[in-house]
Chain A
Amino acid sequence: MQLLESMRMKLNYRVVTFALAIIFGIFFSAPSLFQMQDGKKITLGLDLQGGLHMLLGVKTEEAVESRIKSIAASVKHFSERKDILIDTLNFDENGITITLLDKDDVKRIKSFLHEVKGAVVVAVDESISFTLSDEEIQNTQKQAISQAIETIRNRLDQFGLTEPIVARQGEEKILVQLAGIKTMEEEQRARELISRAAKLELMAVDEDRAARVYSMSENEAASYGDVILEDATNPKIKHLVREIPILDGGMLTDAHVGFDENNRPLISFSLNAEGAEIFGDFTGKNVGKHLAVVLDSKVYSAPVINERIGGGSGQISGNYTVMEAKDLAIALRSGSLMAPIYLMEKRSVGPSLGADSIKASMIALVGGFILVIIFMVVYYRMAGIIANIALISNLFIILAIMSLFGATLTLPGMAGIVLTVGMAVDANVIISERIRELLHEGKSINKAIEDGYANAMSAILDANITTLIAAVVLYAYGTGAIKGFAITISIGILASMLTAILGTHGIYQMLSKRIQKSKNNLLWFGIKG
Chain B
Amino acid sequence: MEFFKYTKALGFMGKSKFTRSLSILLVLGSFAILATKGLNYGVDFAGGTIVQVKYESAAPIDEMREKLKSNTIFDGATITEFGSKEEVVIRMRTTTGDVVVDVGDVARETLGGTGEFEIRRVDIVGPKVGSELKEKGIMSMILAVIGILIYVAFRFEWRFAVASILALVHDVTIALGAIALVGLEVNLDALAALLTILGYSLNDTIIIFDRIRESVVKQRDSELSDIIDESITRTLARTTLTSLTTFFVVFTLFMFGGEIIHAFAFTLLVGIVIGTYSSIFVASPTLLLFGFDVKNYHVKLAQKAKREAEKERMRAQYESGVM
Question: Which residues of A come within 8 Å of B, CB atoms?
Answer: 54-57, 184, 188, 191-192, 194-196, 341-350, 352-353, 356-357, 360-361, 363-364, 367-369, 371-372, 375-376, 378-380, 411-412, 415, 418-419, 421-423, 425-426, 429-430, 433, 436-437, 440, 455, 458-459, 462-467, 469-474, 476-482, 485-486, 489, 526-527
Contact = CB atoms under 8 A, between A and B. Distances in A.
- Chain B's interface size range is 35 or more
Given A422-B248, A469-B151, A470-B196, 15 more contacts: A184-B119, A196-B100, A342-B99, A344-B129, A353-B121, A364-B249, A364-B261, A462-B155, A463-B203, A466-B151, A470-B195, A474-B195, A476-B143, A479-B136, A527-B2
29 contacts: A184-B119, A188-B100, A342-B98, A346-B102, A350-B121, A352-B54, A352-B120, A360-B261, A371-B252, A411-B260, A415-B189, A418-B252, A419-B196, A419-B249, A422-B247, A425-B241, A425-B245, A433-B238, A437-B234, A458-B214, A463-B207, A466-B203, A470-B195, A470-B202, A472-B147, A476-B140, A477-B136, A477-B140, A489-B196
B100 to A, nearest CB: 5
B206 A482 contact: no
B39 interface: no
Nearest to B238: A433
Interface in B146-184: 147-148, 151-152, 155
Q: Which 7 A-B pairs have the closest CB atoms?
A: A368-B249, A360-B258, A422-B246, A477-B140, A195-B99, A467-B199, A459-B210
B61 interface: no
Contacts, number: 253
B33 interface: no
B246 A419 contact: yes
A352 B147 CA distance: 40
A76 to B, nearest CB: 33
A246 B255 CA distance: 66
Nearest to B272: A422
B105 interface: yes
Contacts of A459: 206-207, 210-211
Contacts of B133: 479
B144 interface: yes
Nearest to A384: B1
A422 B102 contact: no
Contacts of A371: 245, 248-249, 252
B126 interface: yes
Contacts of B121: 347-350, 353
Contacts of A364: 249, 252-253, 255-257, 261
Nearest to B2: A527
Name the prevailing secondary structure of the B interface residues.
helix
Contacts of A470: 144, 147-148, 195-196, 198-199, 202
B278 interface: no
B140 A368 contact: no
